[in-house]
Structure 1
């Protein structure tokens, strides 16, 4: 649907509603450590996740999201769940309260004119783009803090809402396992540092990645949409290879060597990385080049127990690969690296003349 706007130089504000469902984490692991930090992030939400301005072909688009209702809701749900976690009687109707969707107001202001600004989808596109940015910034700051898998964007001028579908599961489970002492290790980072790093990347509304870091971030977004399939192994290698600038098909040892340099790994951890990456690479190769025993789409391990081990092995390797990709990005953030290049050097020893 197209809206007839008469003024040539104008500023129009479009109200939107973000509807968030399933705000609780999928796991209770380390809830005492993780959930207060998630609440703190949203309570003190940096301006970079509340306001964003884009410049697009003569238009200035300003996006504003009020995240305070989310901060209050997370604090309330934490209180509702605490009795169950401590084996004390829960509050009456606690489940109905937790399951209730949360609606957040958002506004998009479009100033100026171009050939696209008169379409209803135009302001919604920039809000959707900003929500994707917030997903990455929040989860790289406090892993698991922004789960938008059951989130939709409603524009009163459009018949259908826009589904966001971004799951924070990989971030959440990666941080929980790190707190158990497992590697790769994820951690909470200062939001101001992550915001500064993300701003320096200057991704904006790009629809195609141009750098290795951009490709890795876009891979995380693709995996957040659906990380339960075998092609996630391909996505993970694409993201890891993009960060360290290895070419498709190069040896795993080169990938390991470069990742080890970024993550500053000791010899024993580097050997473990090599072993796990080769296992993941075997899955990728079987899928890309043939030999993969394709499971039925119904995927019922109850009816065929052979599928149980298959799914569990893939799940564990996928968790490892996702945590490795996130840990590598967090290492770049801590080092304030927004661009990197590996130069191979030839080192020789000659005979005396």
Structure 2
């Protein structure tokens, strides 16, 4: 629908509501370590996550969102659930309180005119884009801190809302497993470091990735929308290959060498990485080239116990692949690397004359 919003003014502010329907983590693993850091992140949310300017064909679009209601809600839920977790006292009506949606005000101001600014979807597009940025920055800073699965963006008196399906499960479970001593090792990073790195990438509202790092980040967003399917193995290899500039389908050893260089892995660690990547690659190949035993969409393990091992193996390999991709991006952030180039060298031995 096209409406003449810009007819009377060159600068118009459109109020929005960002509704979060899921504020709890998928598990309580390491809650005493992880959740205080999540609270701290949102309590002092960097300005880069509260205010964003975009320039688009003659218009300046400003997005403002106040995350303090989220910070307050996370603190309240933490206090509410602590007695339950420590088995010290029952809490009345905790379930209804914890699962109650949270509505956050967001404003989008459009200054200037172009051929798109009179459409209803235009300001909402930039808020949606910013939410995706926030998801990546927050979860690369404190894994699992921004779970926007089932969230929605709406305008007052507007019938339809924009659904946001971004699950932080891969980040959350990856960090929890790292705290258990497993590898790849995810960790919390200084928010200033992540914001500086992301700003230097200058992705903006770009709809098609142009660099390996951009492609890897977009892969994470695609997986966050639905990471429970076999094609996630294909997405993971696309992200890893793009990130370290190996060709699609190139041998695993090249991928291992380049990831090993970024993560500074010793020979023993590279051998373990090689083994796990080959296992994941077998799943990818069976799906892409045939041979994959496609499960029924209903996926009832109770009706066919053979599905148990199938789903568990895929789940474990998918977790490994996602953690590897995230850990590699975090390594680039720590080193503030925004562009990768690998130069092959020819080493020769000549006959003495």
Alignment TM-score > 0.5, same fold: yes
- Residue-by-residue CA offset, 1:315-335 (whole Å, 9 max, x unaligned): 000000000000000000001
Q: Equivalents in 1 of 2:249, 2:104: separation in Å?
A: 45
What does residue 246 of structure 1 align with?
246
Q: Equivalents in 1 of 2:275, 2:53: separation in Å?
A: 45
Whether the 8 Å contact between 1:8 and 1:112 is mirrored in structure 2 is no
Whether the 8 Å contact between 2:116 and 2:122 is mirrored in structure 1 is yes
Alignment of 1:192 onto 2:202? no
- Residue-by-residue CA offset, 1:149-190 (whole Å, 9 max, x unaligned): 011000125321001100000000000000000000000000
What does residue 165 of structure 1 align with?
165
Runs (4+) of structure 1 moved beyond 6 Å? none
Alignment of 1:260 onto 2:260? yes
Alignment of 1:140 onto 2:140? yes
What does residue 343 of structure 2 align with?
343
Note the residue ranges of structure 2 that are not aligned, 5 or more in a row.
Answer: none
What does residue 86 of structure 2 align with?
86
- Residue-by-residue CA offset, 1:29-77 (whole Å, 9 max, x unaligned): 0000000000000000000111100000000000001100000000000
What does residue 24 of structure 1 align with?
24
In the TM superposition, what is the alpha-carbon distance from 1:91 to its structure 2 partner? 2.4
- Residue-by-residue CA offset, 1:95-145 (whole Å, 9 max, x unaligned): 111111100000000000000000110000000000000000000000000
Counting matched residue pairs gives: 353
Q: Equivalents in 1 of 2:7, 2:259: separation in Å?
A: 54
Alignment of 1:56 onto 2:69? no
What does residue 43 of structure 2 align with?
43
Whether the 8 Å contact between 2:17 and 2:106 is mirrored in structure 1 is yes
Q: Equivalents in 1 of 2:291, 2:142: separation in Å?
A: 39
What does residue 302 of structure 2 align with?
302
Note the residue ranges of structure 1 that are not aligned, 5 or more in a row.
Answer: none
What does residue 288 of structure 2 align with?
288
Over the aligned positions, Cα root-mean-square deviation in angstroms equals 0.9
Q: Equivalents in 1 of 2:2, 2:79: separation in Å?
A: 46
Alignment of 1:223 onto 2:206? no
Q: Equivalents in 2 of 1:325, 1:6: separation in Å?
A: 43
In the TM superposition, what is the alpha-carbon distance from 1:5 to its structure 2 partner? 3.5
In the TM superposition, what is the alpha-carbon distance from 1:279 to its structure 2 partner? 0.1
